[in-house]
Every structure is written in C-alpha cells, then in structure tokens.
Amino acid sequence: MKQIKIIPCLDIKEGRVVKGVNFENLRDARYPVEAAAAYCAEGADELVFLDIFATVENRTTRLEWVKRVCSVVTIPFAVGGGIGSIEDMKALLDLGVDKVSINTAAVKSPELIERAAKEFGKNRLVVAIDGRKNPIESGLPRLEVVIRSGREAIGTELVGWAKRAEELGAGEILLTSKDADGTKEGYDLEMTRAVAEAVSIPVTASGGAGKLEHLYEGITIGKASAVLAASIFHFGEISISEAKQYLKEKGIPVRI
C-alpha cells in the first residue's frame, strides 16, 4: 500500500471557512488563512480549497481569497469552485496553486479535462465528483452524479463518469458523497470502493468523516488513496497528528 494522505478541506463562503450537512445549513468555522497555516503546521499532506458558491453564483474563483492562502501554505494546495476554462486554471496556477479541481465544468464540457491535461499535465488536474445514492427501485442510477454544489442531478451514472474522466486525462478524483457530507456517520464506502476499483488513478474519499475509525474504513474498505475531512478538523474534534498516529498504529503507511 502506498503512503496514504490526510487532507483537510476549506469550504469557502464570503471569505470564511464554513461547514454544513448534505451541502446545506452552513455554519462558520474560521478564517481560511488561519486554518491553512494551522493545518500546514500540524502535518497535513495536502490542502483543498473550494469556493463552494462560485458555480452557483455563475462566477469564477475569488483569486484574492486564494492568494491569501497561497501566502502561508507550505504543502501541496488544490483549488476548486468556479473553474470553467483553461484561462481560469492558468490564473490559479500562476498564483502558486499546485492543482486545480474541476467539477460542474468537467461534466458539462468533458473536453476541458483533455485540454487541461495536455496544457498543464495530469498531475495538476483533479476531477471532483459529487454523488448521491438512489433507491434501487427508483429507476435512476444507483450512484448518480450531482453538480452545481449538489443542487442538480443529471442522471449520469457515477462510476462510468469516473472512468471517463480518467480516460480523458484526470490525474486524480476527489469523490464526495452528498448524502454523507457533514453527517459524521462515515464515508459512503460503497460509492468510494466502486470508484476506486474502477479507476487506476488516486481517489480521495470525502464526506462523512466523524471519528478515527471512519478514516481507517475509507482506506481499507473504501480503497481510497487519501481521506479528506472538514468538520472533525475545523472544530478541534480530531487533530491531523492524532489521525496519523491512529492510522500508523493500524498499519496504514502515513507521513509522520
């Protein structure tokens, strides 16, 4: 098993870190620069920054927010939200961002994945996929893609989309379960494992981490290459170092 990454996520609204449940009922956490500096000091392996209302508000990522975080971050830094073109990506990479993450734009214009991979390299391109689980009897895909911050279901089967994203040039997949998001009841292991077993690129599990055991399950059952969490880190329930020590004692290779 390769070294597993522990990744905090900064969901940003109006310049502040926020966290909700099922992508709704957001509550304030802290300033993003303060959070970024703290997570770097604590030993996070990467940091994800998502301007979660950019697509909904039909705007690009707020570069001034990203620039402030770039000034303090010392670990690989990925940014998503409102990225809809090669020009948007270049603007972020020129600020010092290590990776760009595309979601809704990738679904609506899959050729953007291919163009971005050729322009910047696969290692700098994350395709974020938000999904939900439908009842079997609904007639809809069991695992379905949702876009626009979870507000729109499009009838696309999730695992098939993940495979296509890889074929087009995605370097990794950030997979978030809308159903599990913010619940602290654990990752959607069925969804995570289905995607991880269908692709050969790294898959980051996101949505639902509430205790240390959930991180372990995301790796061992969900087959994720990295585990992302927000609430448990933002509100001081679990520290990055505590998470890594726990996983190390469980035999999971992590960077201490």
- Catalytic one of 45, 130, 181, 188: 130
Residue 91 CA to its chain's centroid (Å): 20
Share of the chain above pLDDT 70, in %: 96
**Average pLDDT rounded to a whole number, residues 145-166:** 92
Is 80 a residue whose pLDDT tops 70?
Answer: yes
Average pLDDT, stretch 142-148? 94
Element holding 255 (H helix, E strand): none
**In whole numbers, what is the pLDDT of the chain averaged over residues?**
94
Domain chopping of the chain, boundaries: 5-249
Q: What is the DSSP string of 174-190?
A: EEEETTTTTT-S---HH
pLDDT surpassing 80 at residue 23? no
| pLDDT band, residue 28 (cuts 50/70/90) | low
pLDDT tier for residue 20 given thresholds of 50, 70 and 90? low
pLDDT of 55 reads 82
Specify the pLDDT at position 79: 98
Q: Tell me the average pLDDT across 116-121.
A: 98
- State residue 71's pLDDT score: 96
Mean pLDDT of 95-114: 97
Decide if domain 5-249 falls under CATH 3.40.50.720.
no
The pLDDT, as a whole number, for residue 226 is 98
Backbone angles phi, psi at 4, to 5 degrees: -90, 140
pLDDT band for position 27 (cuts 50, 70, 90): low
Nearest to 51 by CA among 76, 72, 68, 73: 68
Phi/psi of residue 165, nearest 5 degrees: -60, -40
User: Is residue 246 scored above 90 in pLDDT?
Assistant: yes
The predicted pLDDT at position 21 comes to: 74
Q: Is residue 103 over pLDDT 60?
A: yes
Q: Can 98 be counted among the known catalytic residues?
A: no
- Token pair recorded at residue 6: 């522990």
pLDDT of residue 14: 83
- Per DSSP (E only), the strands in 98-180 are 99-102, 125-133, 143-147, 152-157, 172-177
pLDDT over 90 at 54, yes or no: no
Lowest mean pLDDT among 50-59, 73-82, 121-130, 199-208: 50-59
130 is a catalytic site residue: yes
pLDDT of residue 29: 59
Could you tell me what percent of the chain has a pLDDT over 90?
A: 82
Does the pLDDT at position 26 exceed 90? no
